[in-house]
Amino acid sequence: MKVAQGIKKLGQPFTLDNKMSLENPLVLVFGNRYLLEDVSIYEEVRSLFPTGHIVFGSTSGEIMQDVVYENSVVLTAIEFEKSKFEVKTKNVKDFNHNDYNLGEDLFNGFPKDNLQYFFIVSEGSTVNGSALIKGLEKNMAKEIGLSGGLCGDDARFEKTLASYNENPKEGEIVAIAFYGDSLEVTSANYGGWTSFGPERRITKSENNILYELDGKPALDLYKKYLGDKADELPKSALLYPLSVRKENEEPLVRTILNINEKDNSMVLAGDVPEGSRVQLMMSTIDDIANGARTAAELAMENRVNNPQLALLVSCVGRKLVMDQRTEEELEEVISIVGENTKISGFYSYGEMAPFAGMGNCKLHNQTMTLTLFSE
């Protein structure tokens, strides 16, 4: 595996860490949404990697090595020397926002022979990440892994962008499939958030829209807990996500993507099934940093080889809590995966990964998710 990295800051061209020649590389480009809206961004990356397979995703912060950037575009180009990959996309608008059908159709379009792993870069504004994952996994063999993340737009929640081999656009979901016995990929996630306050039952919901808790309008109830911070919704919701627990299942953390004042509902990044128990959550800087370390330890637990590349997807809510100390969670990750591992990634509106020791992928919020590669 050969890896080259670079960064583009506002008003400047890309600067690369080396100018090695890469053959048909996978080029992951994560960046600020405004910079990705520049009509010249695709051609600029294409000029650097003429034979590259270029995947774009907008972010709520860019990760490269041990630094968290803002208002930038980070680039990681990977030449796989022993394994192969394919990239395909679908757009939510073509499926009438039926994300389950989109996921199923997207997976079915890939060759299955020697398929090892999927990494997803998904639009993050309107997608139901839980439904997308269920669709992707419907016909997927249990031994095939799946992870990735929902694109971000800082804390604006206006729109997100993604694409493959074209200028970034709204509604795109990009799937990267990896093939080959020589490829070792492991993933894990962990949060570090703590539940508090009374536990309430979801009495009315539809997919990822939450209408009622204990028979009362969900948004009204949530605003009471937020107090003065309710005026800053949906941004302030990133500091107080929800723990959603179904009977006999691990609790999932759900971030609020948007609110609807007309019907007092909240749109979350993933499913919130009726009958589930819900609590507010909060965290501290130390808990979040320790959570990142735990995620790295879980991802490294059963590896045979040291990772050559780590793709990190961390939640924008973690970044808001940590503020000036955000890079501490990267330091914790590097202390576990090793300083020789190339690191790239982004802050997101949702993270995709299985729970430790479990096969099926889940949509998470407020976690650090790692996907580790080696050949």
CA distance 352 to 216: 31
Residue 239 confidence (pLDDT): 87
Report how far residue 45's alpha carbon sits from residue 37's, in angstroms, rounded to the nearest whole number: 14
Buried b (16+ CB within 10 A) or exposed e, 193-207: bebeeeebebeebeb
What domains can you pick out in the chain, each with its CATH number? 2-189+286-360 (no CATH), 194-282 (2.40.10)
**pLDDT the model gives residue 250:** 82
Average pLDDT over residues 299-309: 95
- Reported as a single tens digit per residue, the pLDDT across 85-103 is 999 999 999 999 899 999 9
pLDDT, tens digit (0-9, with 9 covering 90-100), for 177-216: 999 999 999 999 999 899 998 999 999 999 999 999 999 9
328 SS3 class: helix
pLDDT, one tens digit per residue, over 228-276 is: 989 988 888 888 999 999 888 888 888 888 899 999 999 988 889 999 9
